[in-house]
Every structure is written in structure tokens, then in C-alpha cells.
Amino acid sequence: MKQTELQALLDRQINKGNVYNVVVGIQSKDRSIDFAGAAGRADPETGTKMTVDTPYNIASVTKMYTASVILKLHEQGLLDLDEVISKYLPVSLINGIHVYKGNDYSCQIRVYQLVNQTSGLADYYLDKPRGGQSVFDEVEQGYGPGAG
């Protein structure tokens, strides 16, 4: 299939059901990208077109990719799922990410807990920090991370 035909196929998907924009990459067996295309509007208010370089918030879909990479590293013997995350990340990066009732449990979080989402960490996207707004609220109002 030619690149122009692939792009036309993408363009035809817009406004079918709940599809308003799309970005697709097709990879050949040798792992080089043969086609990258986008269709639809990145911002319906301004009419800005979607491109392959448009930042795109995929939210929870990243969990699937992250878990796959972590399990692949475990399979290769490069990461232990039962190990605390401070073995792989600097303490300065993780200090204070899991404070409960005045106690910092950050250095007790294990890799498998992050993969299983049982670490006790807050939902970054929906939970509101003390005295602030959630990322979702900020994006909805158009001035937070991912806006514009």
C-alpha cells in the first residue's frame, strides 16, 4: 500500500464514532518506520491540524508500555521486581513521593508494586495536591500540563 493510500485511510477515520484525531506509525520487519501519518484536529477550537509531532496525552495507556519494558528488563536479568526502587533511582528523585501520616515510605516502594499499581502512590492525574488542583482540572481549564 502506498503512503498516499495509507494517509487517505487515516483521513477517512476522522469523525467516525468518537475518532477526532489519530497518529499512526507502521513499522516493517527490519524495525524501520515505513509510514508515519496523522489526521484530524489537534485543537478543534483553533483548527490546528494533528501532525506526527503533535504532543498527545495518552494517560493510562503508558502503564502498558512501562510494564512491558520493566518485564523485559526483568527477563534479561537487568531488574529485580522484588527490589526497592531506590536501587535503580536516586534517593533525591524519590524522596517524598510517598508520605503518609508524616512518615516517608518512598524508599520502601518495590518495583513490582509500581507495576501492579499497589505502591500507595497518589493518582497524579486526578488527585489534588494539598491546596491545589489536579492535573485533570488544570488541563480542563486550559492552562496546565498538556494544555496548548
Domains of the chain: which residue ranges? 3-49, 61-141
What is the model's pTM?
0.57
**Residue pLDDT tens, the chain, 148 long:** 788 888 999 999 998 888 889 998 888 888 776 889 999 998 888 889 999 998 877 777 888 888 999 999 999 999 999 999 999 999 898 888 888 888 989 999 999 998 988 887 777 667 766 677 777 777 777 654 444 4
Q: Report which secondary-structure segment, H or E, holds 87.
A: none
Cβ contact 77:57 at 8 Å? no
β strands within the chain, DSSP E: 21-27, 33-43, 48-49, 99-100, 103-104
User: What's the CA gap between 12 and 40, in Å, rounded?
Assistant: 10
* 120: Cβ contacts below 8 Å, ≥ 6 apart: 98, 100, 105, 109, 113
Burial class (CB within 10 angstroms; exposed 0-12, middle 13-18, buried 19+) of 111:
buried
User: What's the CA gap between 31 and 102, in Å, rounded?
Assistant: 49
For residue 146, the model assigns a pLDDT of 47
For residue 148, the model assigns a pLDDT of 45
For residue 33, the model assigns a pLDDT of 67
Residue 11: what are its φ and ψ, rounded to 5°? -60, -35
